[in-house]
Amino acid sequence: MSHTARLRPAAAGAVSVRTVAPAASAIAIVAGCDAAFDVKTLRCATGGTGDNCLSDAQLKAVAKITSEYKPGFSVAGMNAFPKWALLEGATFAGPSNFGKTNQPSNPLSGTEPLLYSAGDGTIKFIITRDPKFDTLRFDPGQYQARIATAASIMDVTDQSLDRFRAKGGKIIMTHGTADDFITPHNSIAYYKRQLAQFGQARLDSFMRFYVIPGLGHGFGTFNARFDSLPALEQWVDSGKAPEGLIATDGNPNASRTRPLCAYPKYPRFTGTAGAENVAASFTCAAK
């Protein structure tokens, strides 16, 4: 989850906390694409392997990756963990890769996928506390107590923002639709949790959430760049909420802009042919 947050403390000046993240496809309304596309249409005729189709085994893997995971118990207030954006523009190329080995080694060989490597370290050194543990044998149900303890330290999704809001804190949160290291559906679930707690009007008084098509985990087909700090300062200091924010594509020689649309809106093209690279050609529309 990428976010920019600023809190005005009782003493001195404001403190800002800022991190940048995430990935995406060039399609603006990803949910609509999901609804229209069935990955099974890519199945090889016999269910075997092929260069331009997916085998039954590959389709099974895709289904797992793009489905939520339910461990059978609650972790920091969550009973299910969101899907990955594999069919939404995430490439899992470069640093966020699928690895170079079919079977992870124990200890790691260095050829494993990035996400497996991160999980391996968490399971060995935080959950089981056994550096020799075989992560492929990990059963979350056998470590519920340890997971709960670790979640109480590492996970903040169940922490209320009410005191932060009461002190005048403001948040600008962003996530790219094709993030292949931290799924954008994590941030969407987090936002929905805040919405359930505060309601739309109260939430709008201190939080803005932008889901950015084309943005990845610091890169992407639309490598969105925008200066959020002035918008945040104006919101905190003058009470003027962010409006009309524009992102510029940071890819070399891209020279294109897009409006940032507050979730769940998306940038709909309303311009004329030839003006696809200009933010003014897009309108933030409801799904």
Per the CB < 8 A criterion, the answer to whether 177 and 2 are in contact is: no
pLDDT-derived band at 26, boundaries 50, 70, 90: low
* pLDDT tens-digit readout, 153-195: 999 889 999 999 999 999 999 999 999 999 999 999 999 999 9
Q: What is the distance between the alpha carbons of residues 214 and 22, in angstroms, rounded to a whole number?
A: 9
Give me the torsion for CA of 268, 272, 277, 282, rounded to 10°. -30
Domain ranges of the chain: 2-29+159-285
More confident site: 281 or 32: 281
pLDDT number for residue 140:
97
Max distance between CA atoms of the chain, in angstroms, equals: 69
Per the CB < 8 A criterion, the answer to whether 106 and 35 are in contact is: no
User: Is residue 25 pLDDT above 50, yes or no?
Assistant: no
* pLDDT tens-digit readout, 123-150: 999 999 999 999 999 999 999 999 999 9
User: Is residue 18 pLDDT above 70, yes or no?
Assistant: no
pLDDT number for residue 277:
95
Handedness of CA 236, 241, 246, 250 (dihedral sign): positive
User: Is residue 19 pLDDT above 60, yes or no?
Assistant: no
How much is the average pLDDT of 280-284?
96
The DSSP bridge partners found for residue 267 are 284
pLDDT number for residue 287:
76
**Sheet harboring 246-249: ordered strands across?**
224-225, 246-249, 257-259
Quote the tokens at residue 211. Answer: 């889901």
* pLDDT tens-digit readout, 36-71: 999 999 999 999 999 999 999 999 999 999 999 999
Quote the tokens at residue 59. Answer: 């389709």
* Amino acid of residue 283: T
Length of the chain: 287
Omega before 107 within 30 of 0, i.e. cis? yes
User: Is residue 5 pLDDT above 90, yes or no?
Assistant: no
Average pLDDT, the chain: 89
% pLDDT > 90, the chain: 82
Pairing mode of beta strands 2-7, 170-176? antiparallel
Per the CB < 8 A criterion, the answer to whether 89 and 177 are in contact is: yes
Distance set, CA 212 to CA 8, 68, 69, 99, 199 (Å): 27, 21, 24, 27, 23
pLDDT number for residue 1:
41
Per the CB < 8 A criterion, the answer to whether 110 and 185 are in contact is: no
pLDDT number for residue 15:
27
User: Is residue 82 pLDDT above 60, yes or no?
Assistant: yes
* Amino acid of residue 150: A
How much is the average pLDDT of 22-45?
80
* pLDDT tens-digit readout, 190-230: 999 999 999 999 999 999 999 999 999 989 999 999 999 99
